[in-house]
């Protein structure tokens, strides 16, 4: 369906030694949840992809690297240009990681209330930050980035993760094929959160080409005002241009409280120290699993754990 | 009167306003007055037990009121409170 050039090595099953940071993108582990799924029949499996194993520490390494490489190939990003985007943190960290290694300047619009760990990390990687009004959320950061580009179009390469097809295509050529290989084609359900929607769009489209019966389930916060960092409530947010709501067979709304609860359980019962969006993802996967169990159906459910919990340690909920 | 600044995701439930004057001598009383003026806001701010939801961040200046006296933090006529959303975006 899509004629794409793979963004990063796709065929290897183990990582090669002694290569650049860019080779440490993709081929992340897929693990089966054990204790959180004890109540389910053995015929229902939930597998989680551990995306903090990517360079830069999150799933965002995949789209960031693809966006940078494709922009270079198309002459949009070169010496003297500054890469600009709005980010809630992880995409910025990924941009800054690869831009540092390639010698590009990076400027990021980020809400002022992003966690202090993320802001410090971005500055440590050399990114220039434009802190935006916290009352306007991530949409305010998007609007600020658009303003900056409009005022100085020649200065910037506007990466525009919300509208750049190289975002979802990164998952089409990497995340999707990896999941297909790692489950030996047995996947029945893919459950993914919506932020830019790139992960769900790219991974879901690839899996559909391999197995049209795969069920694609999207997750988003149940209410517009929420605490699920990294996820968007689509009905009330600026809708990303790359988002196609018709791809998903089902959409699940996850409450912040439920996601925080599962995030704690992932750490304490599975040894998986994750960010909050990972807790939301597993919440959704468990909900799908429960519905299938009630129908007596077997399933191999795969979901994504976008990042580890280190950048959220200042959040109160870890001590609750 | 004190004022509460409303984040963009909550404005549809607050008559589209960015700032709401509120009565009350504490943060808790001000929030209760806000929810009284705009009942649709209540479920976004409070859980079923009537407590502030854990991710509702209320700031007095640059301080999260949880680091002050919580909902018992005293306020004055000149106080400006802000309800700060979490950062969305991402995947």
Q: Whose CA is closest to B29, among B48, B49, B1, B56? A: B1
- Give pLDDT, residue A236: 87
Q: Where does B2-84 sit in CATH, by number?
A: 3.10.20.30
Q: Are the Cβ atoms of A306 and B91 closer than 8 angstroms?
A: yes
A15-41 pLDDT, tens per residue? 556 688 999 999 999 999 999 999 999
- Per-residue pLDDT at A16: 57
Give the integer Cα–Cα distance in Å for B86 and B91: 15
* Domain A21-55+171-319 classification at class level: alpha beta
pLDDT score of A194:
96
Is A319 part of the annotated catalytic residue set?
no
pLDDT bin (cut points 50, 70, 90) of residue A311 is confident
Q: Which residues in chain A belong to E strands, given as ranges?
A: 30-32, 44-50, 82-86, 105-111, 128-132, 156-158, 189-193, 215-221, 250-254, 299-305
ipTM: 0.84
Q: What is B41-58 written as a DSSP string?
A: GHHHHB-TTSSBPTT-EE
| Residue pointed to by tokens 């995340």 | A175
Average pLDDT over chain A, rounded to whole? 92
In the predicted structure, residue A211 carries a pLDDT above the cut 60: yes
CB contact under 8 A, A195 and B91: yes
Residue A162 CB contacts under 8 Å (≥ 6 apart), including other chains: A86, A142, A196, A238, A240, A241, A242
Structurally, at CATH architecture level, domain A61-158 sits in 3-Layer(aba) Sandwich (3.40)
For chain B, the structural domain boundaries read: 2-84
> Which tokens go with B17?
């306003």
Give the pLDDT confidence of B18-63 residue by residue, as tens digits: 999 999 999 999 999 999 999 999 999 998 888 888 888 899 988 8
- For chain A, what percent of residues have pLDDT higher than 90? 81
pLDDT of residue A315: 73
Between chains, do B89 and A226 touch, taking CB under 8 Å as contact? no
Question: Quick check: is A60 catalytic?
Answer: yes
**Nearest-CA distance A233 → chain B (Å):** 8
Each domain of chain A, given as residue ranges in start order, spans 21-55+171-319, 61-158
The answer to whether residues A81 and A155 touch, using CB atoms and an 8 Å cutoff, is yes
Of B5, B9, B89, the CB nearest to A224: B9
Altogether, the residues listed in chain A come to a count of 320
| Two structure tokens written together for A106 | 């990076």
CB B65 within 8 Å of CB B73:
yes
The predicted model gives A201-223 an average pLDDT of: 97
Mean per-residue pLDDT, A280-287: 98
Q: What is the pLDDT of residues A268-279, one digit of tens each?
A: 999 999 999 999
Answer whether A92's CB lies under 8 Å from A127's CB. yes
A49 vs A224 pLDDT, higher one: A49
pLDDT exceeds cutoff 90 at A316: no
B57 chain-A contacts, CB cut-off 8 A: 113
Cα separation, B6 vs B39, in Å, equals 14
Inter-chain contacts counted by CB atoms under 8 A, chains A and B: 128
Query: What's the pLDDT score for residue A2?
Result: 40
Nearest to B10 among A200, A225, A257 (CB): A225
Q: Is B89's CB within 8 Å of A86's CB?
A: yes
> Residue A248 above 90 pLDDT?
yes
- Centre a 10 Å sphere on the Cβ of residue A298 and count the other Cβ atoms it contains: 13
Asked whether the beta carbons of residue B89 and residue A232 sit closer than 8 angstroms, the reply is yes
DSSP notation for A251-311: EEEE-HHHHHHHHHHHHHHH---B-HHHHHHHHHHHHHHHHHHHTT--EEEEEEE-BBSGG
pLDDT at residue A3, rounded to an integer: 42
- Report the percent of chain A where pLDDT is more than 70: 94
Q: How confident is the model at residue A47 (pLDDT cuts 50, 70, 90)?
A: very high
Asked if A230 lies within 8 A of B57 by C-beta distance, the reply is: no
Chain B closest-CA separation from residue A279 CA (Å) = 14
Q: What is the per-residue pLDDT across A107-161, written as a single tens digit (0 to 9) for each? A: 999 998 887 888 899 999 999 999 999 999 888 999 999 999 999 999 999 999 9
**Judging by beta carbons within 10 Å of its beta carbon (0-12, 13-18, 19+), is residue A23 exposed, middle or buried?**
middle
Top-confidence residue, A294 or B86: A294
Residue A61 to residue A25: CA distance in whole angstroms: 6
pLDDT band with cut points at 50, 70 and 90 for residue A229: confident
Nearest to B88 among A115, A137, A192 (CB): A137
Pair of tokens at residue A171: 């998952």
Interface contact B42, partner A, CB < 8 A: no
């Amino acid at each position: 369906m899509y004629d794409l050039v793979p963004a990063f090595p796709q065929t290897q099953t183990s990582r090669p030694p002694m290569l650049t940071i860019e080779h440490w993108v993709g081929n992340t582990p897929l693990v089966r949840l054990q204790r959180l799924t004890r109540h389910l029949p053995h015929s229902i499996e939930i597998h989680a992809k551990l995306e903090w194993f990517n360079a830069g520490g999150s799933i965002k390494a995949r789209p960031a690297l693809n966006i940078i490489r494709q922009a270079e190939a198309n002459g949009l990003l070169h010496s003297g240009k500054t890469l600009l985007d709005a980010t809630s943190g992880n995409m910025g960290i990924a941009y800054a990681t690869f831009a540092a290694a390639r010698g590009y300047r990076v400027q990021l619009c980020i809400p002022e209330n992003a966690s202090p760990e993320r802001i410090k990390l971005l500055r440590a990687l050399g990114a220039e930050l434009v802190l935006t009004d916290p009352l306007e959320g991530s949409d305010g950061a998007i609007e600020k980035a658009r303003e900056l580009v409009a005022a100085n179009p020649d200065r910037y390469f506007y990466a525009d993760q919300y509208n750049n097809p190289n975002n979802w295509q990164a998952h089409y050529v990497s995340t999707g094929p990896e999941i297909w290989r790692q489950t030996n084609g047995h996947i029945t359900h893919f459950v993914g959160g919506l932020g830019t929607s790139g992960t769900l769009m790219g991974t879901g489209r690839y899996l559909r080409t391999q197995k049209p019966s795969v069920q694609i389930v999207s997750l988003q916060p149940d209410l517009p005002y929420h605490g699920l960092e990294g996820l968007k409530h689509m009905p009330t947010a600026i809708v990303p241009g790359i988002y196609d709501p018709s791809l998903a067979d089902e959409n699940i709304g996850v409450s912040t409280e439920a996601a925080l609860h599962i995030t704690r359980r992932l750490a304490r019962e599975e040894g998986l120290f994750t960010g909050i969006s990972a807790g939301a993802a597993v919440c959704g996967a468990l909900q799908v699993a429960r519905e299938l169990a009630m129908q007596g159906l077997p399933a191999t459910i795969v979901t994504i754990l976008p990042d580890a919990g280190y950048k959220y340690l200042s959040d109160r909920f870890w001590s609750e | 009167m004190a004022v509460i600044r409303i984040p963009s995701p909550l404005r549809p439930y607050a008559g589209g306003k960015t700032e709401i004057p509120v009565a009350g001598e504490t943060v808790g009383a001000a929030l209760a007055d806000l929810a009284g003026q705009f009942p649709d806001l209540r479920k976004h701010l409070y859980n079923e037990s009537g407590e502030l939801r854990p991710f509702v961040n209320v700031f007095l200046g640059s301080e999260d009121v949880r680091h002050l006296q919580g909902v018992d933090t005293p306020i004055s006529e000149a106080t400006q409170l802000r309800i700060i959303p979490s950062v969305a975006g991402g995947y």
